[in-house]
């Protein structure tokens, strides 16, 4: 694609493009409505942003993005790392249309090592950034539970929730619990183990969590030999038991390579419009954990873009960056990634794209697992859809409808003693709310409290439009009410000539009775019927939508007729008063002093005199 023609660039954007800084930072593209549609980071904002407008051979996604950019907002930061963190936070906050949205497996647990003088180790699903270390997530819960039992047996760290300091322990503030007496805790709270020795055990636990058991095994063997040579056989026997536990744990881990090296292996898979990226965490040749991300709209995203986004998101959260990262394709910005990761790790590392050999096999294995996770995702979605469709099919069966009610519309009315009469229409498709097709109506021709006339008006307005514009009709229409409301709706549908093209029912609130056209008796559906639950969901949603609209109109009318009639009171002041005091009635009862302290002497006097003169 050639440069975007200058005539197509909005004036405000053109001015900003001429004055771009060369600092690192984050840029936000906005459309004509001011909505953020893309967020990106850059080492050099000027070079990066101008590459969009001067670049050639853009993909379809970038071409579509360029056509919608009307404005740009910049945030300058001190470094590329800061830009990456800010970009990640902004994407989570705004969820822009053209950014890759990675859905991760947050339901899986982590292992937390707390940031305390005497740390604790336990399973958690909640990540709190307070200096604690996190390992995982662990997709195999039985393996995680086995590992925690091993660590507790091997290293005897505390499981209590006491907040302990070395000073408090030295003063004898705590007493040991039963865990110490049954040899499940080392008794740090009672001073039976020093803080340095206890934290040494915690460090050994961290090594095991990192998959680094070889170094600990060597250390334990040396200690066992030392105790044996000094004839301390009881201590040597204890070390021997620990070694057996550790060796059993190592045997249970899946060995994927004979190299005692730490590496992360990335895989990617695509099915239809979705993609999945997956990371294997391999420590000392053993697979200790994996994490995957689902991208639901991936057709316009290249593999390089997805791998880039995956690595950025993963290493923003990960505690440990290994020496080697294997990828299936080169990321979009490899130099930026390497620079940032080296800085974060504090040492060099390699980002490799293997073509042959064992490393290539690892990447292929990761990609195969990514495909498996993606298929699992589709199966889960299909199960949810099947459950929804079950309710739709049950509704057809319960009401003996001639067609499956895929498209359902439900109406409800709301008013207050005949004032601010409104109606709502909610739409469900395939048993799910379709909020973009909800409609609300401010009724024009209804006098007083007349639900039947209200139903005739809203049904007439809705379906006259659909007929005139030749838009699809629903399979089922639900009116909230009994025979009267149903008859009103039928009258209009017959006048429009569409009664034979749609099904319509009424739903009475009292006993959840369902009324069918031209039948005198109502139907009582079984309380456990999936069809009844779907009807109730539609009715409740229509009621909520109508009540919300009615409340908005009532508040607007109250502000206009009561407060904004007072000289010197504008809408902002009226809203401020209503937010503070709750209602016009409450404002009417305020003393002059209260009003003056809230809005000043002049406006306070105006309000006080208005209400009191009116009362006289």
Confidence of residue 2 (pLDDT cuts 50, 70, 90): very low
Cis previous bond, 137, omega within 30: yes
> Judging by DSSP bridges, how do beta strands 274-283 and 263-271 pair with one another?
antiparallel
Residues spanned by CATH 3.30.420.10 within the chain? 263-376
- Answer yes or no: are the C-beta atoms of 379 and 512 closer than 8 Å: no
Confidence of residue 479 (pLDDT cuts 50, 70, 90): very high
Whether the pLDDT of residue 152 is over 80: the answer is yes
Q: What mean pLDDT is reported for the chain?
A: 83
Q: Tell me the mean pLDDT in the region 532-555.
A: 83
Q: What SS3 state is found at 236?
A: helix
pLDDT value of position 284 = 73
Q: Tell me the mean pLDDT in the region 458-468.
A: 92
Give me the count of residues in the chain. 616
Q: Quote the CA–CA distance of 217 and 204 in Å, as a whole number.
A: 10
Q: Quote the CA–CA distance of 255 and 287 in Å, as a whole number.
A: 6
The count of other CB atoms within 10 Å of the CB of residue 235 is 14
- Answer yes or no: are the C-beta atoms of 450 and 416 closer than 8 Å: no
| pLDDT, greater one: 139 or 378 | 378
Of the given ranges (109-113, 340-344, 491-495, 565-569), which has the lowest mean pLDDT?
A: 565-569
Structural element, H or E, at residue 222: helix 214-229
| Beta-sheet strands, E only, within 187-238 | none
Whether the pLDDT of residue 286 is over 80: the answer is no
Confidence of residue 1 (pLDDT cuts 50, 70, 90): very low
Q: Quote the CA–CA distance of 50 and 58 in Å, as a whole number.
A: 13
Q: 477: which strand partners?
A: 409, 504
- Answer yes or no: are the C-beta atoms of 213 and 207 closer than 8 Å: yes
Q: Report which of 408, 542, 388 is spatially closest to residue 475, judged by C-alpha positions.
A: 408
pLDDT value of position 463 = 94
Whether the pLDDT of residue 261 is over 70: the answer is yes
pLDDT value of position 43 = 87
pLDDT tens digits along 316-373: 877 788 889 999 999 988 888 888 898 888 888 999 999 998 899 999 999 998 998 8
Rg of the Cα atoms in the chain: 34
Residues spanned by CATH 3.30.420.340 within the chain? 407-553
pLDDT value of position 415 = 66
| Residue 153 in tokens | 């047996």
Residues 6+ apart with CB under 8 A from 213: 207, 246, 249, 250, 284
Query: For residue 397, what are the CA distances in angstroms to 227, 401, 529?
Result: 78, 7, 10
Per-residue burial over 93-131, b = 16 or more CB atoms within 10 Å of its CB, e = otherwise = eeebbbbbbbebeeebbbbbbbebbbbbbeeeeeeeeee
pLDDT value of position 27 = 93
Residue 567 φ/ψ, nearest 5 degrees: -55, 130
Confidence of residue 498 (pLDDT cuts 50, 70, 90): very high
pLDDT value of position 614 = 59
- H-state helical runs in 334-481: 334-345, 357-399, 451-468
Whether the pLDDT of residue 105 is over 60: the answer is no
Residues spanned by CATH 3.40.1440.10 within the chain? 6-99
Express as a percent the part of the chain with pLDDT over 90: 19
Structural element, H or E, at residue 37: strand 36-42
Residues spanned by CATH 1.10.150.20 within the chain? 564-615
Tell whether domain 407-553 is in CATH 3.30.420.340: yes
> Taking every pair of C-alpha atoms in the chain, what is the biggest distance, in angstroms?
106
**Domain 263-376 class in CATH:** alpha beta
Rounded to a whole number of angstroms, the distance between the first and last alpha carbons of the chain is 76
Of the given ranges (43-57, 209-223, 350-364), which has the lowest mean pLDDT?
A: 209-223
pLDDT value of position 92 = 83
The three-point CA angle 480-486-487 to 5° equals 155
pLDDT value of position 253 = 55
Confidence of residue 26 (pLDDT cuts 50, 70, 90): very high
pLDDT value of position 104 = 67
**Sheet harboring 71-76: ordered strands across?**
36-42, 25-30, 71-76
Residues 6+ apart with CB under 8 A from 234: none
Counting beta carbons within 10 angstroms of the beta carbon of residue 199, is it exposed (0 to 12), middle (13 to 18) or buried (19 or more)? middle
Q: What SS3 state is found at 549?
A: helix
pLDDT value of position 248 = 65
Structural element, H or E, at residue 80: helix 80-94
Whether the pLDDT of residue 21 is over 70: the answer is yes
pLDDT value of position 319 = 73
Query: For residue 294, what are the CA distances in angstroms to 207, 270, 323, 370?
Result: 30, 10, 26, 9
Whether the pLDDT of residue 258 is over 70: the answer is no
pLDDT value of position 557 = 59
The count of other CB atoms within 10 Å of the CB of residue 181 is 10
Matching CATH number, 564-615, of 1.10.150.20, 1.10.3720.10, 1.10.1130.10, 3.20.20.30: 1.10.150.20
Q: Tell me the mean pLDDT in the region 303-308.
A: 92
Query: For residue 323, what are the CA distances in angstroms to 74, 75, 320?
Result: 34, 32, 10
Whether the pLDDT of residue 160 is over 80: the answer is yes
CATH number corresponding to 6-99: 3.40.1440.10
Whether the pLDDT of residue 46 is over 50: the answer is yes
């Amino acid at each position: 694609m050639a440069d975007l023609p200058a005539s197509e660039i909005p004036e405000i954007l053109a001015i900003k493009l001429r004055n771009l800084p060369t600092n690192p930072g984050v840029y936000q593209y906005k459309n004509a409505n001011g909505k953020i549609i893309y967020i990106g980071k850059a080492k050099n904002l000027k070079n990066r942003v101008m590459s969009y407008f001067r670049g050639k051979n853009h993909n379809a996604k970038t071409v579509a993005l360029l056509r919608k950019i009307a404005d740009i907002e910049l945030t300058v930061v001190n470094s590329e790392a800061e830009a990456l963190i800010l970009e990640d936070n902004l994407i989570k906050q705004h969820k822009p249309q053209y950014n890759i949205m990675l859905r991760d497996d947050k339901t899986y647990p982590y292992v937390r090592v707390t940031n305390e003088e005497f740390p604790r180790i336990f399973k958690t699903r909640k990540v709190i950034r307070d200096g604690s270390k996190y390992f995982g997530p662990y997709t195999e819960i039985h393996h995680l539970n086995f590992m925690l039992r091993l660590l507790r047996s091997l290293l005897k760290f505390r499981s209590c929730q006491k907040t302990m300091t070395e000073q408090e322990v030295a003063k004898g503030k705590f007493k040991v619990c039963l865990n110490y007496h049954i040899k499940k805790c080392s008794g740090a709270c009672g001073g039976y183990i020093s803080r340095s020795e206890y934290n040494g055990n915690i460090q050994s636990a961290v090594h095991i969590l990192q998959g680094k058991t070889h170094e600990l095994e060597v250390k334990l063997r040396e200690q066992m030999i030392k105790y044996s040579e000094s004839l301390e056989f009881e201590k040597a026997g204890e070390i021997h038991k620990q070694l057996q536990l550790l060796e059993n744990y190592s045997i249970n881990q899946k060995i994927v390579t004979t190299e005692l090296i730490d590496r992360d292996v990335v895989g990617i898979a695509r099915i239809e419009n979705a993609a999945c990226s997956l990371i294997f965490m391999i420590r000392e040749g053993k697979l200790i954990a994996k994490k995957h991300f689902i991208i639901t709209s991936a057709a316009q995203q290249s593999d390089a873009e997805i791998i880039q986004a995956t690595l950025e998101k993963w290493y923003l959260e990960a505690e440990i960056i290994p020496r080697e990262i294997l990828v299936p394709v080169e990321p979009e910005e490899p130099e930026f990634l390497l620079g940032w990761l080296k800085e974060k790790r504090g040492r060099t590392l390699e980002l490799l794209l293997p073509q042959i050999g064992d490393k290539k096999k690892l990447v292929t294995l990761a990609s195969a697992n990514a495909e498996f996770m993606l298929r699992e995702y589709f199966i889960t979605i299909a199960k949810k859809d099947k459950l929804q469709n079950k309710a739709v099919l049950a509704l057809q069966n319960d009401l003996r409808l001639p067609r499956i009610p895929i498209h359902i519309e439900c109406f409800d009315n709301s008013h207050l003693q005949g004032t601010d009469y409104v109606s709502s229409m909610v739409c469900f498709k395939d048993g799910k709310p379709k909020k973009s097709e909800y409609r609300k109506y401010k009724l024009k021709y209804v006098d007083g409290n007349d639900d039947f006339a209200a139903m005739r008006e809203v049904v007439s307005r809705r379906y006259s439009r659909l007929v005139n514009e030749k838009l699809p009709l629903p399979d089922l229409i639900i009116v909230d009410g009994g025979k009267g409301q149903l008859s009103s709706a039928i009258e209009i549908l017959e006048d429009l000539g569409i009664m034979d093209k749609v099904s319509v029912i009424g739903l009475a609130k009292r006993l959840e009775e369902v009324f069918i056209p031209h039948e005198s008796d109502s139907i009582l559906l079984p309380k456990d019927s999936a069809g009844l639950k779907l009807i109730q969901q539609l009715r409740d949603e229509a009621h909520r939508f109508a009540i919300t609209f009615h409340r908005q109109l009532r508040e607007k009318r109250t502000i206009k007729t009561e407060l904004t009639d007072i000289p010197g009171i504008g809408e902002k002041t009226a809203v401020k008063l209503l937010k503070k005091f709750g209602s016009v009635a409450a404002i009417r009862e305020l003393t002059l002093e209260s009003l003056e302290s809230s809005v000043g002497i002049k406006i306070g006097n105006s309000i006080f005199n208005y209400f009191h003169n009116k009362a006289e």
